């Protein structure tokens, strides 16, 4: 139930990668046979990623994952005096990059979401200044799964001549990607969120986008990302992308959404719970098919995460450890939740291999764990602020 943290390799991905560790170990820059075999594998992977993004092969850049893609978009495009627009619910790979840029004379506006978790494109439009050079907005939020109106934001970027980056790390494999439809210049994905290997990712870089490489050295990736290609990782990412494209067409994602909906509906029957990512009428907004985020009043989220772990259920809570202190989720706080409710929220994010039996197990152990913790909780007794 924690697929948004990471996913296991699918067997087909593992098998596709295997020959590239020992047998076909060549450096893709070498001109001899070993190098050419590696080069062919990288070229084929690039074709698959181009199909995955709906772009040209030459617009695909392989890298180390989502953090690198996000950092590249900001550090590679912005110069002192520029202004950047992003949102307050982005991943720390964007937020921390923006904070670093502030020390170099680059200001960022962090647009807040509506209580539903949706960014209003009108707020993006309002934040534009003459110096605005980049807009960066995520496709799917990692905590709530909420899908952002990126096509509308892409139109705003196009109309105003501003570069547009999409962090699609949590959307890839869950919705069909289409960089042409989105109107973006840059888009980042990570293999390990879609059943590929950790430490591997890719970026769409629209032809002519003047993004500078973070890493300099050799002329790899058309000088857009130096460093010997991680051939096995790239092959694994391509296999994962190929399988993801199948899953989007063969009903797997619809099945996943139905499983998630059943889980969510049943959990919400527990008194003192509610959905994070719902509109004013309590209806869920558009979300990635695998994710639901639910608050539980009168208990401590961390205690529930641990209680569930002891029952074999892995979930993430609404707080994270920063510099030794437990802070409530910046995403849920930006959506207007109070600290206690943000802390006592759980994210359930299903693997695409999740089964009815997995959901049944959660529904068996969760109500009991909630009841037990509420009986013990100082929050319930009103003795904890």
The set of catalytic residues is 321
* DSSP for residue 269: T
Min dist. Cβ of residue 296 to ligand PLP (A): 23
Cβ nearer to ligand PLP, comparing 39 with 260: 260
Min dist. Cβ of residue 200 to ligand PLP (A): 8
Residues 164/194, Cβ–Cβ less than 8 Å: no
Residues 123-162: x/- map of binding to ligand PLP (CB under 6 A)? ---------------x---x--------------------
Nearest residue to ligand PLP, scored by beta-carbon proximity:
66
Instruction: Rule CB under 6 A: say whether 233 interacts with ligand PLP.
Output: no
Number of residues that bind ligand PLP (CB under 6 A): 13
DSSP string, 130-186: TTEEEEEEESB-TTT-BBP-HHHHHHHHHHHT-EEEEE-TTTBTTB---HHHHT-SE
Among 26, 65, 197, 328, binds ligand PLP (CB under 6 A): 65
CB-CB neighbours of 59 under 10 Å? 23
Among 70, 82, 229, 264, binds ligand PLP (CB under 6 A): 70
Q: What phi and psi values does residue 322 have, to the nearest 5 degrees?
A: -125, 120
Residues 150/139, Cβ–Cβ less than 8 Å: yes
Instruction: Rule CB under 6 A: say whether 66 interacts with ligand PLP.
Output: yes
Min dist. Cβ of residue 94 to ligand PLP (A): 7
Min dist. Cβ of residue 353 to ligand PLP (A): 19
Instruction: Rule CB under 6 A: say whether 42 interacts with ligand PLP.
Output: no
Only segment of 66-74, 204-212, 282-290, 340-348 that touches ligand PLP (CB under 6 A): 66-74
According to the 3-state scheme, what is the secondary structure of 307-334?
HHHHCCCCCEECEEEECCEEEECHHHHH
Min dist. Cβ of residue 5 to ligand PLP (A): 7
Among 73, 84, 169, 299, binds ligand PLP (CB under 6 A): 169
**CA–CA separation, 344 and 326 (whole Å):** 12
Min dist. Cβ of residue 6 to ligand PLP (A): 8
**CA–CA separation, 193 and 197 (whole Å):** 9
Return the residues of window 329-368 that contact ligand PLP according to CB under 6 A: none
Only segment of 103-111, 148-156, 163-171, 276-284 that touches ligand PLP (CB under 6 A): 163-171
CB-CB neighbours of 21 under 10 Å? 10
Min dist. Cβ of residue 229 to ligand PLP (A): 17
Q: Helix, strand, coil % (nearest 5) of the chain?
A: 40, 20, 40
Cβ nearer to ligand PLP, comparing 74 with 366: 74
Return the residues of window 171-190 that contact ligand PLP according to CB under 6 A: 190
Instruction: Rule CB under 6 A: say whether 67 interacts with ligand PLP.
Output: yes
**The two three-digit tokens of residue 360, written as one number:** 């049944």
Residues 156/135, Cβ–Cβ less than 8 Å: yes
**CA–CA separation, 185 and 194 (whole Å):** 22
**CA–CA separation, 381 and 369 (whole Å):** 17
Min dist. Cβ of residue 298 to ligand PLP (A): 29
Residues 187-226: x/- map of binding to ligand PLP (CB under 6 A)? ---x----------x-------------------------
For residue 301, give the nearest of 315, 287, 322, 282 by alpha carbon. Answer: 315
Only segment of 16-24, 164-172, 211-219, 295-303 that touches ligand PLP (CB under 6 A): 164-172
Instruction: Rule CB under 6 A: say whether 170 interacts with ligand PLP.
Output: yes
Q: How far is CA 352 from CA 127, 239, 300, in A?
A: 37, 15, 29
Residues 150/118, Cβ–Cβ less than 8 Å: no
**CA–CA separation, 78 and 261 (whole Å):** 41
Q: How far is CA 15 from CA 11, 21, 108, 365, in A?
A: 6, 11, 44, 36
Return the residues of window 276-305 that contact ligand PLP according to CB under 6 A: none
Q: Give the binding site for ligand PLP (CB under 6 A).
A: 65-67, 70, 91, 93, 138, 142, 167, 169-170, 190, 201
């Amino acid at each position: 139930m924690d697929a948004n943290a990471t996913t296991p390799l699918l067997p087909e991905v593992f098998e596709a990668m295997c020959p590239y560790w020992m047998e076909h170990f060549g450096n893709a820059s070498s001109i001899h046979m070993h190098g050419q075999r590696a080069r062919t594998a990288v070229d084929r992977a690039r074709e698959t990623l181009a199909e995955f993004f709906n772009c040209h092969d030459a617009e695909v850049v392989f890298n180390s994952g989502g953090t690198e893609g996000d950092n590249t978009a900001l550090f590679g495009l912005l110069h002192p005096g520029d202004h950047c627009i992003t949102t307050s619910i982005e991943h720390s790979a964007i937020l921390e990059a923006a904070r670093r840029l502030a020390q170099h004379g680059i200001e960022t506006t962090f647009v807040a979401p509506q209580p539903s978790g949706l960014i209003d494109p009108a707020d993006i439009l309002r934040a534009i200044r003459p110096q605005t050079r980049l807009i960066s907005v995520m496709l799917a939020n990692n905590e709530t799964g909420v899908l952002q109106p990126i096509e509308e934001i892409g139109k705003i970027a196009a109309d105003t001549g501003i570069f547009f980056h999409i962090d699609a790390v949590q959307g890839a494999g869950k919705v069909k990607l289409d960089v042409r439809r989105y109107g973006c210049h840059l888009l980042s994905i990570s293999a390990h969120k879609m059943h590929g290997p950790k430490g591997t990712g890719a970026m769409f870089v629209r032809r002519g986008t003047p993004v500078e490489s973070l890493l300099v050295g050799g002329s790899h990736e058309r000088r857009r990302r130096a460093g010997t290609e991680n051939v096995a990782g790239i092959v694994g990412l391509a296999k994962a992308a190929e399988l993801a494209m199948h899953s989007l067409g063969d009903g797997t994602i619809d099945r996943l959404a139905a499983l998630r909906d059943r889980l969510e509906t049943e959990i919400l029957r527990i008194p003192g719970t509610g959905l994070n990512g719902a509109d004013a009428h309590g209806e869920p907004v558009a979300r990635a098919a695998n994710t639901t985020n639910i608050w539980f009043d009168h208990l401590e989220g961390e205690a529930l995460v641990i209680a569930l772990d002891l029952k074999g259920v892995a979930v993430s809570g609404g707080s994270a450890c920063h510099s030794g202190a437990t802070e409530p989720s910046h995403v849920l706080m930006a959506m207007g939740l109070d600290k206690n409710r943000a802390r006592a929220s759980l994210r359930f994010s299903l693997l695409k291999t999740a089964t009815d039996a997995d959901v049944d197990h959660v529904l068996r152990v969760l109500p009991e764990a909630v009841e037990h913790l509420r009986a013990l909780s100082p929050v319930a007794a009103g003795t904890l602020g």
